[in-house]
Amino acid sequence: MEIPSIRSDSLPDAPYGAERDACAIYLSVRKHGQSTFGNLKRSISALLAMGHRTGFVNGEGDGAGVQTDIPRRLWARKLNQSNLRASLTAHPGFWVGHLFIPTRIENPETLNQIQSAFEQAGLNPIYQEAGRMRHEALGGNARLDPPSFWQIAGYAEFPDLGKRLLSVQTSLEMALPIHFLSLSSHVVVYKVRGSVETLSRYYPDLQDRNYDTAVVLCHARYSTNTISSFDRAQPFALLGHNGEINTITRLCLEAEQIGTILPHGGSDSQDMDRTIHTLCVDYDLDLIEAMETIFPPVPYELEQLPPEQRAVYTRIC
């Protein structure tokens, strides 16, 4: 549930006029599953139109991001330019990881450690390069110490590919102060500390006409209880948005009891995302089942359900 904060609707320096206390969210899904660059372009334009819903501090946005399908044509070109087989992007086990690495540890030793973790898990990494960025697009606060953006990709034929990827991700995040924006055989995430306008300016990939996707989930952050950072911008691996949680300590305790490895210093939404992700890959729940486990019906609604359904919710929650 979104908990509104008390904030003036008449701040003189509000870049979009009167403030509205909420995050901006936009989802676009192509009806027939056709992947196009136009879908991405229109979605980001729609998010720009909701800029008045986002948070600003000294004219700098709280954070913005976009989650899409893996853009296969764009990745085919990346692989081809690296003298790798472009056809691997059509492999059902092709996976892509986006991660932030603090510049203070961006060195061959760190990169080798990341590469080795994927190799030891049998995930066959074939590509690891710094992603394209334009640091001049960042605002003053974000420009003080921005992380480096890296892209890694590979392919593997495992029925539990998602579980293996999450295992590598959590082990690396425990060993190193890095943050995975996404690590998946289905989706990628781009995000930034800044406004919606900053997002597409910062990542040239998002302006590349080879970027084709059938699904686009956009988010621009309005935070009332955590400071802005690159890591805390949304979307995350699965979750596109979540408000503040009153019982976050209880959530974390119960998440750890089922084996969830929570991100260090994560926001409410990050902890929620990681818990849902764990339920999906470690307990074989589908997304709806995981969401229903985390967000069960309130007691009044539970009482209205048939006895069989009520028993299920009572048992798992």
Give per-residue pLDDT as tens, 43-95.
999 888 776 666 556 667 678 899 999 999 999 999 999 999 999 999 999 99
In this structure, are 242 and 317 located in the same domain? no
Number of domains in the chain: 2
Instruction: Pick the range with the lowest mean pLDDT from 138-142, 284-288, 300-304.
Output: 138-142
pTM to 2 decimal places = 0.81
In this structure, are 97 and 198 located in the same domain? yes
**Strands 56-57 and 24-29, sheet pairing:** unpaired
| Average pLDDT of the chain to the nearest whole number | 85
In this structure, are 206 and 313 located in the same domain? no
122 lies in some domain: yes
Strands of 64-69's sheet in order across: 24-29, 215-220, 64-69, 187-192
CA 130, 134, 136, 142 torsion-angle sign: negative
Residue 150 has pLDDT above 70, yes or no: yes
**What domain range includes position 74?**
24-284
